[in-house]
Structure 1
């Protein structure tokens, strides 16, 4: 079970519940994989609803890797994600929000 207070998000992939988390290492890997911009521009794209499927996939992979998974984005190309593309986008947005939420905001 994911713990939102520590930034975790759960997502069912191929029938298995996975815990995703954007650790510092996962964030660095994510930023390195972005084709354009920085993490700030990624957050801005999500806030504006202008994110791409590549953005969603990159966030899901980073979150999985932060949760201890050792796969790559190629491993997810044919994966069944609960909720489909919208479920993946929702999990990606939650990952971003929880990774950058201030501790005092989590108490609310």
Structure 2
């Protein structure tokens, strides 16, 4: 379902698969919601394992919205993310990696 070559990541919410992608608009929305720092700071937090659950949630919401989902962060408070918090963090990191990967990198 998700095309990794197009920067897409599959995320399951309440048993329903969704495609997430950090489009330019989604990245702009994400940057606006970050409480501290820039997108580069966010990448560095993930690379260093210093990310927060707020970082994960912001990335998941931005990615889902980039994939066409119309929800809000509040909507994710009551859904079950397939794989739980660990899978959510992995998907968030993968979204970041795919958004900034050069063609041919993966």
User: SS of the residue aligned with 2:105?
Assistant: helix
TM-score, normalised to structure 2, is 0.98
Scaled by the length of structure 1, the TM-score of the pair is 0.96
Q: Which runs of 5+ in 2 are unaligned?
A: none
Alignment of 1:1-108 (within 5 A): 1-106=1-106
Q: Distance in 2 between matches of 1:96 and 1:105?
A: 13
CA distance in 2, matches of 1:103, 1:77: 35
Report deviation, 1:104: 3.1
**What SS does the aligned partner of 1:103 have?**
coil
Question: Per-residue displacement from partner, 1:42-70 (whole Å, max 9, x unpaired)?
Answer: 00000000000000000000000000011
SS of the residue corresponding to residue 17 of structure 2 reads: strand
Structure 1: gaps (5+ residues): none
> How large is the RMSD of aligned CA atoms in angstroms?
0.7
Post-superposition CA distance 1:64-94 (Å, at most 9, x none): 0000011100000011011110010000000
